Amino acid sequence: MTSMKTKLLVVGGGPGGYVAAIRAGQLGIDTVLVEADRLGGTCLNVGCIPSKALIHVATRFAQMSDGTGLADIGIKRTTAPSLDLARTMGWKDGVVERLNRGIAGLLKRAKVTVVKGWGVFSDAKTCTVATADGPVVITAEHVILATGATPVALPALPFGDRVMSSTEALSLRELPASVAVVGGGYIGLELGIAFRKLGSAVTIIEAQDRLLSLYDAELVAPVARWLDDHGVAVHLGAKASGVAVGGLQIMPRDGSAQTVIADRILVTAGRRARIEGWGLETMGVDLAGGFVAVDDRCATSMHRVWAIGDLVGEPMLEHKAATQGHMVAEIIAGHARRFDPVAIAAVCFTEPEIVSVGLSPGQAAAAGLETIIASFPFTANGRALSTGSSEGFVRVVARKDNHRLLGIQAVGGHIAELSGEFALALEMGAVLEDIAGTIHVHPTLGEAFHESTLRAMSHANQF
């Protein structure tokens, strides 16, 4: 048995953990990072990056397969494309591997010691890691918990055989002829749309009365139209009740059991914090509703034990985890920091994409705020029209009395690239006049943001 002592122990090498470790190393803090699997966590290895790679391939393949928009712009094809999914997945794995090596290089440059293995705490500051070379006992002055989250399994649909989580869906080597997606949230729709573009027949089963319940109906409408236009069957108000011969048994609210034909069943019922299996119960750390309870510095109830990312609750987003990791490392180094963002942007990489940051019109009304709301359609945006992707709009929500921006939402092709500008506007406390007075480059999608603020002030200069 080997023993180590360190100033900081980070458990979990995902976006929260590795960012915390790198920043701590840069600040001269003696740091050990423990990770049982690959560096990068869910997001890099089996989540954000591989799913966006697959979505990219699916979109390219769909454009070549059905000729969507190509004939209109003078492009003709004489043969249909073919898909080698194994090669696609190999390319996707190469993207992940390149980023994985980059993280390892940054950790090495920051002089962070990486210990590979599963760690289990025996008390708040002592962790035993089962490595390939035997157990390693690590004691630390500070501990950052960054253990992330795991997919939620449904009792009626345990993972295995034809039932898969997003992890398995992103590793398929053969395209299933039909896929039933259980869950109409962002993970289910992103992957369901990708499989449809690749050629699978797709059915979506959602227990609630509408898809993408985190977003308002106006934002979701263009996505619902795409699903309908491309033959994706959607069952709302229905629950998956079990695997059936050749498919999935579902139970609509009227009680009439149905079987959905499906070669593979993709369960995307959400994710939950990984709080079991690594000794949290020995650490004297308080919980709050299935998450680790923290204050605005990400400090837990145990002195010098910190928790970040998915482990501490919604939103379960990479950029939130990374920001918290960076902050906690600086706090340990003696800086005065706290986690208090005005808003955190969320993006859904559907067809078309959705971005939301801050308050929606409904949320602002529920808070009793008098607002100005204005939208600008991409059908009037030169860049959107010239790329053949004019579905959607940008919408602003501002206070009526002082024009302070409260929220910004958008739906459209490649609109995710504006999420940073939207978040910055809210974080800096921008008013409508700030955006209207900023010269936006022409022709870009960002002009729609500019025009929406002009509309809110009743002097838009485009149709």
Q: Give the pLDDT score at 167.
A: 93
List 410's β-bridge partners, or say none.
Answer: 355, 394
Give just the sign of the alpha carbon dihedral 250, 253, 257, 261.
negative
Q: Report d(CA 55, CA 46) in Å as an integer.
A: 14
User: Is 442 noted as a catalytic residue in this protein?
Assistant: yes
**pLDDT at residue 208 is higher than 60:** yes
The SS3 of residue 121 is strand
Q: Give the pLDDT score at 67.
A: 63
CATH superfamily of 2-150+273-332: FAD/NAD(P)-binding domain (3.50.50.60)
- Both tokens assigned to 390: 């004019």
* Catalytic option among 303, 335, 414, 442: 442
- Both tokens assigned to 399: 């206070």
pLDDT tens, 398-456?
A: 999 999 999 999 999 999 999 999 999 999 999 999 999 999 999 999 999 999 999 99
Q: Where are the domains of the chain?
A: 2-150+273-332, 163-269, 346-456
Q: Report d(CA 145, CA 168) in Å as an integer.
A: 26
> First CA to last CA across the chain, in angstroms?
73
Q: Report d(CA 294, CA 298) in Å as an integer.
A: 5
Do 2-150+273-332 and 346-456 fold alike per CATH?
A: no
Taking the domain 163-269, which CATH number applies?
Answer: 3.50.50.60
Q: Report d(CA 68, CA 66) in Å as an integer.
A: 5
Q: Give the pLDDT score at 64.
A: 87
pLDDT tens, 273-308?
A: 999 999 999 999 999 999 999 999 999 999 999 999
- What phi and psi, each to the nearest 5 degrees, are found at residue 356? -145, 135
**pLDDT at residue 147 is higher than 90:** yes
Q: Report d(CA 195, CA 193) in Å as an integer.
A: 5
The DSSP call for residue 282 is: G
The DSSP call for residue 415 is: G
- Both tokens assigned to 419: 């999420």
Taking the domain 346-456, which CATH number applies?
Answer: 3.30.390.30
Percent of the chain whose predicted confidence (pLDDT) is above 70: 98
**Amino acid sitting at position 3:** S
**Amino acid sitting at position 141:** E
